[in-house]
A and B are shown apart, each in its own frame.
Chain A
Amino acid sequence: MSYRTTWMAVIVAFAVSLATDLALGASRPGLIASIGFFGCVGLILGSKWLGKALLSRPDAYWADTDQPDEKPDTHPAPDEDEVRRPEVTDA
């Protein structure tokens, strides 16, 4: 879906929402649809801004250990003797 089609879809969705609200006699027609769209856009832009301005740090921020860990990543292995070799599937 291109950018232009998406905007068209937004407009259609707003119109359908408003019509449904009016048909069902909602107390504030269009409000929920606005919360959906602007809430989503606002959360994405707001959070991203907050991350850039204040909160984001490089990936290795907490990993600056005094003793670098040489242990391989063994998440799924419960016991040493049960480690299975990862199988590579044909992609």
Chain B
Amino acid sequence: MLEHPVVPFLVAAAVAGMVPRRIGALVLLAAPVVALLQLLALDEGTTQHLDFFGYELTVLRLDDLSLPFAFIFIAIAALAGLFGFSTFSKGEQVSALLHAGLGIGVVLAGDLLTLFVMWELKAVASTLLIALGRNRSSPGAAYRYLLIHVLGGSLLLGGTLWHLSTGGSLAFDQFDGHASSALILIAFLLSAAMPPLHPWLPDAYPSASIAGSVVLSAFTTKSAVYALLRGFPGTELLIVLGVAMAFYGVIYAVLENDVRRLLSYHIISQVGFMITAVGIGTAAAVNGATAHAVAHILYKGLLLMGVGALVHATGKEKLTDMGGLARPLRWVMVLYMVGALSISGVPLFSGFVSKELVIDAAYGDNMYLVVYLLKIVSVGTFLSTALKLPWFAFGGPDRGIPIRPLPATMFAAMGITAAANVLLGVRPGLLYDLMPNPVDYEPFTASHLSETMQLLVLAGLGFWLLATKLKGEPSITLDTDWIYRRGGPAVVTRAHALAATRPQPMATARQYGARTWLRITDGTLGPAGGLGRRDQAPTPTPALGAIMLVAILLLLSTAVISGAW
């Protein structure tokens, strides 16, 4: 059991909690190294079992699908640890180690119960990481994040118990399409940030600290992509949802003024590519989703490190407050641009060799509409990350913004991640050899290169014509979280007003029921509840109590129905 790659992360988290912060930073780097050695020592096809009250759990399953995810998760844990070497607080070190370790636990889980436990604990660890961010919005965002993910976890548990009660197997493999798997699918899509279930992502990720955002960007959505690849490959609905998701992200990114929120919307968009590939479900598409997840973790990590360095150096988060930073932060700009060219799919950078794999899978299945829609999304990605953001952050006259010096470890982390992106772009074989199926694709053909260059050059000219229109505005963009942050409280307040007009002494059963209901919704949706609070320091008890109650009731009722206990 000790050779499980999760173990070094859990041990390191315990150690980091006890030692001084500076030593904890070293522990944060050591854990991934040990985990990597353990992973390399394990043979592909290894499984480890654990007997749990008569259930045989598969706590470790290392096969050709889980290997690339486990590998890249370990790599980004080390890189993020290096990036946050001098900025992570002690609490963040502990929660980052837990979050990374449990993310690896999710992709290595071979049965549904282990998956659920890892999934939920991972959500708790990421909540801590967000809450420990040093932004004014951190506690509120963390709290909303927790409530949404507890809902997702309840759906996963409910779906799993229902699946088991109808004779389904505990093994985590492709689901059979029974109604119970719909609950599990929704839980996975919620974690993958599928609109309209996505607003937790752009709400929470920019609220963490700068290195916290790098850690967060890697694990939650990509372990959901892994879970979808494992459980729902070839589900055609996912093609439509994936393309819609890819568009949703780029449209919001065009409107966004906050640099980390802009990149958060691009996570949604890029995960859309992966989910489209999951929906196509062929061997080539599974490779595409996996390769794009691996490359995405690397280039998105680099992009968030780049803007993290910007935020660290300037203390500013909005594009409208930046500008003229090309000279004082020259190397940050260069390294950021490596990430930007990678996500845009420019040849010789990592995104080119992975994104084309997804598009080629759609092409191979004659889904031309999907191909061309994803090409438009690629244009949007290039537009926001490689043109708009650097143009308004680095371009223009120097505004004399005070610059705080950046620690060398930040540059080291960005440099290594940038090198990895270029390496995968130049030698795609390194990436393709990791894939679950043999890759039969040559990225560097004349037609691929010509198509990509045409797309990017003409998009660049389009940007040049309209650059003034893209200039950021000091505004925010409403998203579906409005429903629970403003809509819910409005409904509850209105219900109270209605209840108050009723004659008071008539304590009928109906009124009693209404009051109980209001008590629950007050805790979650009301103006003083967790989701809809306007102040930033919510008192957790009522809302958490209500959510826990729902979770426990769901658990008990499914347990009774299924006769599991």
| Chain A positions near chain B (C-beta within 8 angstroms) | 1, 3, 6-7, 9-10, 13-14, 17, 20-21, 24, 26, 31-48, 50-51, 54-59, 61-67, 69, 71, 73-79, 84, 86-89, 91
Residues of chain B in range 403-417 having any CB-CB distance to chain A below 8 Å? 403-405
The answer to whether B450 touches A20 (Cβ under 8 A) is yes
Cβ A65 vs Cβ B534 within 8 A? yes
The distance from the CB of A74 to the nearest CB of chain B, in whole angstroms, is 5
Nearest CB on A from B168, distance (A): 42
Please, which residues of chain A bring their CB within 8 A of the CB of B463? 40, 44
Is B134 on the interface with A (CB-CB < 8 A)? yes
Chain B residues within an 8 Å CB radius of A47: 251-252, 254-255
A62 and B485 in contact (CB under 8 A), knowing A13-B457, A35-B379?
A: yes
User: Are A57 and B478 in touch, CB under 8 angstroms?
Assistant: yes
On chain B, the residues within 8 Å of A87 by CB distance are 402-405
* Residue in contact with A56 in the complex, picked from B250, B403, B477, CB distance below 8 Å: B477
Residue of B nearest to A50 (CB): B251
Q: Once the chains bind, are B536 and A65 in contact (CB under 8 Å)?
A: yes
B223-251, CB under 8 A of A: which get 1 and which 0?
A: 00000000000000000000000000011
Contact pick for A55, options B402, B458, B474, B478, CB 8 Å = B478
The residue of chain A having its C-beta at the shortest distance from the C-beta of B535 within the complex is A66
- Within 8 Å by CB of B458, from A7, A36, A42, lies A36
Interface residues on B, range: 35 or more
Is A75 a contact of B535 with CB atoms below 8 Å? no
Bound Cα distance from A6 to B464, whole angstroms: 7
- Nearest CB in chain A to that of B312: its residue: A76
Given the complex of chains A and B, what is the CA–CA distance between A51 and B12 in angstroms? 46
B46 part of interface (Cβ distance < 8 Å):
no
- Give the nearest-CB partner of A71 in chain B: B136
Decide: B469 and A48 in contact? CB cutoff 8 A. yes
Given contacts A32-B455, A43-B250, A44-B470, contact A75 B478 (CB under 8 A): no
With A48-B254, A78-B87 as known contacts, state yes or no: A43 contacts B451, CB within 8 Å.
no
Task: Please report whether the interface of chain A is mostly helix, strand, loop or mixed according to DSSP.
Answer: helix
Knowing A58-B475, A76-B87, A76-B312, say if A46 contacts B251 (CB, 8 Å): yes
Q: How far is the CA of A41 from the CA of B404 in the complex (A)?
A: 37
| A/B interface sample: 12 pairs, CB < 8 A | A7-B465, A20-B454, A24-B446, A34-B458, A36-B379, A41-B462, A67-B537, A73-B315, A75-B209, A76-B311, A86-B403, A86-B404
**Which one, A9, A44, A59, contacts B254 given CB within 8 A?**
A44
Interface residue B2 (Cβ < 8 Å from any Cβ of A): no
Partner of A78, one of B21, B380, B465, B466: B21
CB < 8 Å neighbour of A91 from B400, B465, B474? B400
A64/B534 in contact, CB under 8 A: yes
Interface residues of B in 70-93 (CB under 8 A from A): 86-89, 92
A56 touching B255 by the CB < 8 A rule? yes
Q: Which of A54, A61, A67 contacts B476 (CB 8 A)?
A: A61
B404's partner among A3, A32, A76 (CB-CB below 8 A) is A76
A10-B465, A73-B315 known, 5 other contacts, Cβ within 8 Å: A34-B458, A35-B375, A36-B379, A40-B459, A74-B134
CB pair A77 B134 closer than 8 Å = yes
Shortest Cβ gap from B219 to chain A (Å): 22
A56 near B475 with CB under 8 A, answer yes
When the two chains form their complex, are residues B255 and A79 in contact, meaning their CB atoms are under 8 A apart?
A: no
Q: Are A59 and B535 in contact (CB under 8 A)?
A: no
Q: Which residue of A lies closest to B309 (CB)?
A: A76
Residues of chain B within 8 A of A41, CB atoms compared: 462, 465-466
Contact of B379 with A40 in the complex, beta carbons under 8 Å: yes
By the criterion CB–CB under 8 Å, are A37 and B450 in contact?
A: no
Taking a contact as CB atoms under 8 Å apart, the answer to whether A62 and B447 are in contact is no
Cα–Cα, bound, A48→B465 (Å): 15
Q: A43 — nearest CB in chain B belongs to which residue?
A: B380
B444 CB to closest chain A CB (Å) equals 14
List, in ascending order, chain A residues with CB within 8 A of B379's CB. 35-36, 39-40, 43
Indicate if the CB atoms of B403 and A88 lie closer than 8 Å.
yes
| Shortest distance from the beta carbon of B237 to any chain A beta carbon, whole Å | 25
Distance to closest chain B CB from A51 (angstroms): 4
Can you list the 5 inter-chain pairs with the closest CB atoms, starting with the nearest? A40-B462, A36-B458, A47-B254, A37-B458, A39-B376
